[in-house]
Amino acid sequence: MRKTTIKDVAKYANVSIATVSRVINNSPLASKEAKKKVLQAIRELGYEPNALARGLVSRKSNTIGVLIPDVSNPFFAKVFRGMEDAVHKNNSNVFICNTDKDKERMLRYIKFLREKQVEGVIFTSEEVTKEYYEALYSLNVPVVLVATEAKEYNLPAVKVNDYQAVSDAIKYLVDNGHSNIGMISGPLEDKIAGLPRYEGYKSTLMEMGIPFNEENVVFGDYRFESGKKAIKELLSKNPEITAVFVSSDEMAIGSIVGACKMGIEVPKELSIIGYDNVSISEMSNPALTTIDQSLYQMGYQGVELLFEMIEKQKKEDSRICKGDTIYIPHRIIERESVSNLIQLNI
């Protein structure tokens, strides 16, 4: 059963296909009368233009691609939701690609996006390796990085300043009277969210006149279970710790649960501050004090930037799409998992 085409509409309305096309795209070249006839025909036949054909001749697919590790992870889910809303505000669509941080999947998807003639792509939360950069470059469309950056390639990016955010978190703990501060970090090989946070922790401690001690940091993989394990390890290495900065909310909640199983009460005996402000952080018991990354906004803004670049590229017909990193604001969300030692001592 063939779908209704522009030809059918033209015949039905007794005009040429050019006129129909003009009406659809409401060009000023169509007369009132023609418009009326055509609109009527469209309604009666239930016509809907074929985006494939449109895209082919206009060279516009109205589609962008999003490369993201895993939408089922609450962190990415939130970021993606922001992206999606921005995409639809711009009357466009999005192909989503879960890469699982797998090289082959990533490369396959990039190829795929090319075939689909996407007009831009968002690359989320992974390190931009040389191989990835080349694949992206060959796409020949604007690329925006979200929750990651790649200064060496000069790609535009939207993220929070991790170093600064962690630094603020540590200062907050110190302001609350803590000086024996531990950390549960992501892996240091992770150049995006691992290393910079670790360094933020280390430098800020030193800046505040607190000696840095390697024993006070333990590593995890950002997930719940690893937080549960890590807190035990940390506390067994140094039971004197009164507060710990944890590199992700999920892992932080793991630490709370882990501490609880050890009979340690949060925040009375141990303060915990997380990172991300993912929705589950309000649901933990006690509710998690954390660094808000405005994930939704990060996604939204990344896509907005992408559309600006697409617009710009179209005008200038330039091939190269460079840009700086835009740092979006972060802030501390005070909930229940950090106690104020100073107040307590008064």
Q: Please, which residue, 57 or 346, has the CB nearer to DNA?
A: 57
Q: Which of residues 53-72 bind a copy of itself (CB under 8 A)?
A: 53, 55-56, 61, 70-72
Among the listed residues 8, 16, 35, 84, the single contact to a copy of itself using CB under 8 A: 84
Q: Which of residues 169-208 bind a copy of itself (CB under 8 A)?
A: none
Among the listed residues 33, 104, 115, 152, the single contact to a copy of itself using CB under 8 A: 115
18 binds, among a copy of itself, DNA, none (CB under 5 to 8 A by kind): DNA
From the list 24-32, 89-97, 166-174, 181-189, the region that binds a copy of itself by CB under 8 A is 89-97
Q: Shortest Cβ distance from residue 212 to a copy of itself (Å)?
A: 30
Q: Based on the shown chain and the rule CB under 8 A, indicate whether residue 256 belongs to the binding site for a copy of itself.
A: yes
31 binds, among DNA, a copy of itself, none (CB under 5 to 8 A by kind): DNA
Among the listed residues 9, 30, 94, 241, the single contact to a copy of itself using CB under 8 A: 94
HEC string of the chain equals: CCCCCHHHHHHHHCCCHHHHHHHHCCCCCCCHHHHHHHHHHHHHHCCCCCHHHHHHHHCCCCEEEEEECCCCCHHHHHHHHHHHHHHHHCCCEEEEEECCCCHHHHHHHHHHHHHCCCCCEEEECCCCCHHHHHHHHHHCCCEEEECCCCHHHCCCEEECCHHHHHHHHHHHHHHCCCCCEEEEECCCCCCCCCHHHHHHHHHHHHHCCCCCCHHHEEECCCCHHHHHHHHHHHHHHCCCCCEEEECCHHHHHHHHHHHHHCCCCCCCCCEEEEEECCHHHHCCCCCCEEEECCHHHHHHHHHHHHHHHHHHHHHHCCCCCCCCEEECCCEEECCCCCCCHHHHHC
Q: Shortest Cβ distance from residue 93 to DNA (Å)?
A: 16
Q: Please, which residue, 23 or 235, has the CB nearer to DNA?
A: 23
Q: Shortest Cβ distance from residue 346 to a copy of itself (Å)?
A: 26
Please answer whether residues 200 and 163 qualify as being in contact, where contact means their C-beta atoms are separated by less than 8 angstroms: yes
195 binds, among DNA, a copy of itself, none (CB under 5 to 8 A by kind): none
The residues binding DNA (CB under 7 A) are 2-3, 5-7, 14-22, 24-25, 28-34, 47, 49-50, 53-54, 56-59
225 burial level (CB within 10 Å; 0-12, 13-18, 19+): middle
Q: Please, which residue, 3 or 103, has the CB nearer to DNA?
A: 3
Q: Based on the shown chain and the rule CB under 8 A, indicate whether residue 95 belongs to the binding site for a copy of itself.
A: yes
70 binds, among a copy of itself, DNA, none (CB under 5 to 8 A by kind): a copy of itself
Q: Shortest Cβ distance from residue 158 to a copy of itself (Å)?
A: 18
β-strand partners of 245: 183, 273
256-266 exposure pattern, b = at least 16 Cβ within 10 A, e = fewer: bbbbbeeebeb
Six-digit token pair at 125? 């939360």
Q: Please, which residue, 51 or 206, has the CB nearer to DNA?
A: 51
Q: What is the rounded CA–CA span in Å between residue 180 and residue 286? A: 21
Binding mask 284-323 for a copy of itself (x = CB under 8 A): xx-x--------x--------------------x-x----
Interacting residues toward a copy of itself by CB under 8 A: 1, 3, 46, 48-53, 55-56, 61, 70-74, 77-78, 80-81, 84-85, 93-96, 98, 111-112, 114-117, 138, 140, 224, 250, 253-254, 256-257, 260, 279-280, 282-285, 287, 296, 317, 319
